[in-house]
Structure 1
């Protein structure tokens, strides 16, 4: 007998979980989540999950420590309730930036969090745009990574903005991401020397790539403080870009970033996905939010049917481009 599919969304970005459920045509399972006066979290799944294939949808975002504990407590509840398989959908994997040691006596927190998730009984992880591909190797369970580039490039295809355009990485570490984005848009790409432009946006060593008289896209995986994107936009405009679009998968938008991005005259648009919930008070006129719900919903359906996910990593406009 085939196990029944169940979806559960937690408090962190429950809106996205609901969109995914709507795409799949099934309801979210009811779950009670409350906190005691001291912040201790209590959860209870309100329906039977015995023998079910459960997909728990929640990013490690917002108050990252609380959201991580909500996930861990929910997984424990599902495991003790005899769920057949617990799959964790991470639209955003908080702590993923701590993926290596750069100084003595530093932790590799992404590895620790991965180990805790696995040890708690998660059978599979489905993630959206991990900060670094090697994070998949931090798990000894299957990890599938969805890439947002085919989705985010739709913004530019849909508005006929692909002519005279160059895609830029805001630093050398993001060159691979910029190259993938440019391959889909069939445009040149370049790299911004972040150290040079931070000290002087007019530095002749600040930009590698053709920018004068062209639209520019700055692509990253995360916008947190926004400082690097703002500096990049100012350097590109000074170098002759006609417009600058700032693009990222995860709009974390820490305190102060929204005002800085909204008032930066050099930025035409900020384009992100809803992998992290962006409350109304953090939305602004330049912000465009694209939903990952159809992408995640289709991935869940394919995983359920043991189908290949590679088709989800290709743009419908450029199906021959493999990223």
Structure 2
């Protein structure tokens, strides 16, 4: 087992420091600044030779700048004779551009994976990828954590299972919804969506019986929340007693808060994979910390242990 070193990028200092607290170590000192023309400047201020280094960098409103900072950190470490470098990216950006849907468009998720590997990452750790197949885009070991260990105990604490129903907001999330339902020993339902264009839905249909049940929508991210709110309205129409949502990544862009205020969603639970001012300001959103899960994964990787139990 090599000495464990953690470097925290500027995108989510709060989460990075919480992870370090769980690990019982201090973050490695780094200099993260900008030149006068806006170019990022990076310097690792401590010796990392032959160390097992973990770089924590998520994404924020300045996604492209966060990515560039990460790449510069990785390049600096690659030139510093580290034993191994693991990129810890709690929220993986560009994940919705994971395939070629028409002519002359990029596969941005694959491009970013290539950039991270080329810059010097030997391993990749993330959570709730928008499309699980993105894990296969990396030419290095990749772990995609799920929030079962964070969300399930919280749901059990506040909801009796006799009238609970987990709802998948689309066909792509039905497998995850079934996993939650299995852990909670409750029913599962699904919403079928027919999209006419990205972000535009022509129709939504409910599959399953949710009448007189407390519905919980589980999804990987809450962006504009338009679809999430429409799903909640549909559930209420079909007789749901209440609707709550658990979404890992609080992107919360555009009119997200306005949409939530006008919706029937009683509460939205998110994690701190993204440092979101909007999530902190809106009282109907509660932030659950994912730091313990990431700290456990980091410790397991450092000690060369299997992480399979985190996915069971």
What TM-score results when the alignment is normalised by the length of structure 1? 0.91
For residue 115 of structure 1, give the secondary structure of its aligned residue in structure 2.
Answer: helix
Check the 8 A contact 2:2/2:302 in 1, yes or no. no
Aligned length: 308
Alignment of 1:94-173 (within 5 A): 94-173=93-172
Match of 2:82 in 1: 83
Render the CA deviation track for 1:221-256: whole Å, top value 9, x for unaligned: 011110010000011011110000111111111132
- Counterpart CA distance in 1 for 2:292 and 2:85 is 21
Structure 1 residue 79 displacement after superposition: 1.4
Of 238-247 and 77-86, the range deviating more from structure 2? 77-86
Match of 1:55 in 2: 54
Match of 1:266 in 2: 264
Alignment of 1:1-323 (within 5 A): 3-195=2-194, 198-199=201-202, 206-261=205-260, 263-279=261-277, 282-314=280-312
Note the residue ranges of structure 1 that are not aligned, 5 or more in a row.
315-323
- Counterpart CA distance in 1 for 2:81 and 2:203 is 59
Structure 1 residue 312 displacement after superposition: 1.5
Q: 1:69 to 1:3 in 2, by over 3 A?
A: same
Match of 1:319 in 2: none
For residue 11 of structure 1, give the secondary structure of its aligned residue in structure 2.
Answer: coil
Check the 8 A contact 2:129/2:144 in 1, yes or no. yes
Structure 1 residue 101 displacement after superposition: 1.1
Structure 1 residue 89 displacement after superposition: 0.5
Structure 1 residue 265 displacement after superposition: 4.3
- Counterpart CA distance in 2 for 1:281 and 1:165 is 25
- Counterpart CA distance in 1 for 2:147 and 2:27 is 24
- Counterpart CA distance in 1 for 2:59 and 2:281 is 20
Structure 1 residue 200 displacement after superposition: 6.4
- Counterpart CA distance in 2 for 1:221 and 1:281 is 15
Check the 8 A contact 1:226/1:260 in 2, yes or no. yes
Q: 1:200 to 1:238 in 2, by over 3 A?
A: farther
Of 275-284 and 217-226, the range deviating more from structure 2? 275-284
Note the residue ranges of structure 2 that are not aligned, 5 or more in a row.
none
What TM-score results when the alignment is normalised by the length of structure 2? 0.94
For residue 163 of structure 1, give the secondary structure of its aligned residue in structure 2.
Answer: helix
Check the 8 A contact 1:194/1:232 in 2, yes or no. no
